Structure 1
Amino acid sequence: MRTALVIGTGLIGTSIALALSARGVRVHLEDRDPDQVRTAAALGAGTEEPVTGRVELAVVAVPPAYIAAAVADVQRRAVADGCIDVGSVKGGPRRELAALGGDPAGYLGTHPMSGKERSGPLAATADLFEGRPWVLTPTPETRTEVLNLVLELVALCRAVPVVMEADAHDRAVALVSHTPQLISSLVAARLEHAEESAVRLSGQGIRDVTRIAASTPQMWLDILSANPGPVADVLAALAGDLEETVRSLRAMESGDQERRAGGAARIETVLRRGNAGRERVPGKHGAAPAVYETVGVPITDRPGELARIFADAGAAGVNIEDVRIEHATGQQAGLVQLMVDPMAAPRLIASLRERGWAIRQ
């Protein structure tokens, strides 16, 4: 691939443009907001110059409600050999494009399964998609040349192609992406008017659950408006589970020993179902989730502390598989949790202690 056009210079569009530009592709940038185009271009994502002639592939990175019209416009202008979108909903835009008289052979709906709670070009990175699934939804009408261009794009972004049917994709993301966003927002909303004394007790658990609640509301309203049915189906099933859980907890308040035991048994079932579901979430590089040993290291909030921990771990010859930081409320201190292979944990602990670190296990 030598040339591309990216329409929409938000987080996803700019990240794609950065990845392509870094690998020698000439990328043209378009956006209805000229400031965003200038920002993306200044970051090295591509050029503001309009397309002259045709590019090989156009990437439409706009909200779901505008995908079909944007793809139809690309095809009408004949500025690209093929066109894709990277929206988080696939079935609706395809049907809308057909209603607009678009060419299904020159279009392929895709969805890179990666993002951040921050939006806009300044949040973009060239490695955003590295190792992440990138869903492709080709149909029998899709031209082979277009599919090949898209596979090359995915490879240039170092993502992993996954082929799915469009409506199956929409049901899947309702479960693994769209519903979690709403649940995170609902839990975070409980904090809005909570007592300050309660909020100050917040630990890593509430931070984990509410992290994505910081996402832009308008962006998620656009996404949910394009996939309301499948999301409502998942929430309806979840509501049933919640109602049963509430009844079980009420039973545990009862003075009747048998009712308390029954309620506790049902809560245990919910927790075990959660364990089983969590075990199915892919781990590092898409593999089955591994079980890591956690080594806790208290640190102060001083420049260079994290870098020193990682350097000392590297000197011990131990690979850090994952890391979490738990901040101490009201103090300039925190706890760094280093996740490592269980076989490597004793070596890491001994090495860090030799270098003066306190260890909390």
Structure 2
Amino acid sequence: MPEQRAATRGPVRIVGTGLLGASIGMALRDLGVDVVLHDPSRTTVLLARDVGAGRLATPQDTDVRLVVVAAPPDVTPDVVLAELAAHPGAVVTDVASVKSAVLDALRAAGADLSRYVGSHPMAGSERSGPTAARPDLFAGRPWVVVGSGTSGGDAVRVVRDLANDLRATPVMLDARAHDDAVALVSHVPQIAASLVAARLCDADPAALDLAGQGLRDVTRVAASDPALWTSILAANAGAVNPVLRALRADLDGVIAALDEAAAAAGSESVASGALGTVASAIAAGNVGVSRIPGKHGGVRRAYDVVTVLVPDAPGELARLLADVGAAGINLEELALEHAPRQPVGLAAISVLRGLRGRLEDELTARGWRFAG
């Protein structure tokens, strides 16, 4: 075991060794923290052990200081209750993506909420299970810390320390504010991505060959675990449904406007209001996306974009990035696109405004070609 380099004191017990639980274990182990693992699935816990997330729990592990419950939301309250009872000296947190339902169930059961602090790391992947885990999963990501209302100050500090040790950024919210926020920024986008991707099930393969990066961006999270997301959405239905209803109203408005446009096809009789409805919907999206924080936080900055043709060969992307660095220009954002069966990919390099011409000159001198 490496030397302890964390504020979190072990042993830390992790219950549930899927993606989040195993990633937490791996990160803590890298910091020298003693981690014990438990999962109702023997295969899953053995895999988590083998990828370096910790050691298997034994009956002798009675001095646990922190318990992290990484279970689906529908079973999280029962697991938290059991862990509070089994480890009366430990702080217990959970990393479920819904907080109000868990807290309400614990209150109803008369749990000792002074030792319970809910939390939710805003990190994950469309992949699941311990084989997808990695110790840097939480680096630079928000980690919401949700006190119970009667959580002890020391208990809250323990969970904040955990987030800091895993290089996440602790954010204090109450349970309802958390659930409303994730409904908007996580849960509804998951539904939207899944519904759009479902339209592809019976699509003509020739149509799919036309797919570009836009479709890949919109549908990326549609590969998520159906069982897990069913549990999440059911637990947060009260916050998700108002957002879905508002989205449905917007969609109905666009459908009605496009029906009017289709009926007037070939004539000049289409009402300006119909076209205005469509334009307004797109423009509102422009405003909304501009509010997504950029890499420095706050209002998203506008960048210049240089799109470079990158040969589909080993080392070419690395050579491009090295050439950008050699030009003395910082890469603010990078997006990659590769159309099926094409010999080149597209690397969209975002740089600060005013640097596009200089970057194009530098890359041209190094033999690169551009798209657009």
Aligned partner letter, 1:5: R
Please give the secondary structure, in 1, of the residue aligned with 2:140: coil
Match of 2:201 in 1: 192
Helix, strand or coil at the partner of 1:6: strand
State the match for 1:340 in structure 2. 351
Contact 2:304–2:352, Cα closer than 8 Å, also in 1: yes
Q: Structure 2 residue aligned with 1:249, among 238, 254, 258?
A: 258
Structure 1 counterpart SS, 2:55: coil
User: Hey, what's the Cα distance between the residues in 2 that align with 1:31 and 1:253?
Assistant: 56
Does 2:361 correspond to 1:350?
yes
Cα distance in 2 between the residues matched to 1:143 and 1:97: 16
Please report how far the alpha carbon of residue 101 of structure 1 lies from its aligned counterpart in structure 2 after TM superposition: 2.9
| Residue of structure 2 aligned with 1:2, choices 2, 5, 9 | 9
Secondary structure of 2:119's counterpart equals strand
Q: 1:343 to 1:71 in 2, by over 3 A?
A: same
Contact 2:211 2:339 in 1 (8 A): no
**CA distance in structure 2 between the partners assigned to 1:285 and 1:37 by the alignment:** 38
Q: Which runs of 5+ in 1 are unaligned?
A: none
How much is the aligned-residue C-alpha RMSD, in angstroms? 1.6
Counterpart code for 1:41: R
Counterpart position of 2:62: 53
Give the counterpart of 2:328 among 317, 328, 339. Answer: 317
Q: Contact 1:58–1:82 at 8 Å: present in 2 too?
A: yes
Partners of 2:162 and 2:26 in 1: CA distance: 12
Whether contact under 8 Å (2:116, 2:148) holds in the other structure is: no
- The answer on 1:269 being equivalent to 2:275 is no
Aligned to 2:236: 227
- The answer for the alignment partner of 1:151 in structure 2 is 160
Task: Choose from 29, 34, 45 the match for 1:21.
Answer: 29
**Paired residues of 1:67 and 1:87 also in contact (CA < 8 A):** yes
Aligned to 2:190: 181
> How many Å separate the matches in 1 of 2:152 and 2:35?
23
Whole-Å separation in 2 of the counterparts to 1:24 and 1:345: 45
State the 1:27 CA deviation.
1.2
What CA distance in whole angstroms lies between the structure 2 residues aligned with 1:303 and 1:232? Answer: 47
User: Residue 252 of structure 1 contacts residue 261 of structure 1 at CA under 8 Å; is this kept in 2?
Assistant: no
Unaligned runs of 5+ in 2: 1-7
* Cα distance in 2 between the residues matched to 1:296 and 1:114: 29
Instruction: State how far apart, in whole Å, the 2-side matches of 1:177 and 1:80 are.
Output: 34
SS at match of 1:338: strand
3-state DSSP of counterpart to 1:45? coil
CA distance in 2, matches of 1:128, 1:307: 23
Distance 2:276 2:183 in 1: 30
What's the CA shift for 1:99? 2.7
CA contact (8 A) 1:58 1:80 kept: no
* Paired position in structure 1 for 2:5: none
The counterpart of 2:83, out of the listed 57, 61, 74, is: 74
The Cα of 1:258 is off from its aligned counterpart by: 5.7
1:76-225 correspondence runs (5 A): 76-78=85-87, 80-225=89-234
Which letter does structure 1 place at the counterpart of 2:141?
A: R
Q: Please give the secondary structure, in 1, of the residue aligned with 2:90.
A: strand
- Following TM superposition, by how much is the alpha carbon of 1:257 offset from its aligned partner in structure 2, in angstroms? 4.2
Give the TM-score of the pair, scaled to structure 2.
Answer: 0.92
Alpha-carbon distance between aligned partners in 2 of 1:86 and 1:286, rounded to the nearest angstrom = 24
Cα distance change, pair 289–212 in 1 and its aligned pair in 2 (3 A): same
- Alpha-carbon distance between aligned partners in 2 of 1:183 and 1:76, rounded to the nearest angstrom: 40
When residues 285 and 157 of structure 1 are mapped into structure 2, their CA distance, relative to the original with a 3 A threshold, is farther
Distance of 1:79 and 1:141 partners within structure 2 = 16
Identity value in percent:
43
- SS of residue matched to 1:97: helix
- Secondary structure in 2 aligned to 1:284? coil
SS in 2 for 1:108: strand
Indicate conservation of the 8 Å contact 1:325/1:334, yes or no: yes
Counterpart for residue 4 of structure 2: none
- Comparing 254-263 and 186-195, the one that deviates more: 254-263
TM-score by length of 1: 0.95
Does the 8 Å CA contact 1:245/1:267 hold for their aligned counterparts?
yes
CA-CA distance at 1:79 after TM superposition: 6.2
1:86–1:109 CA contact under 8 A, matched in 2: yes
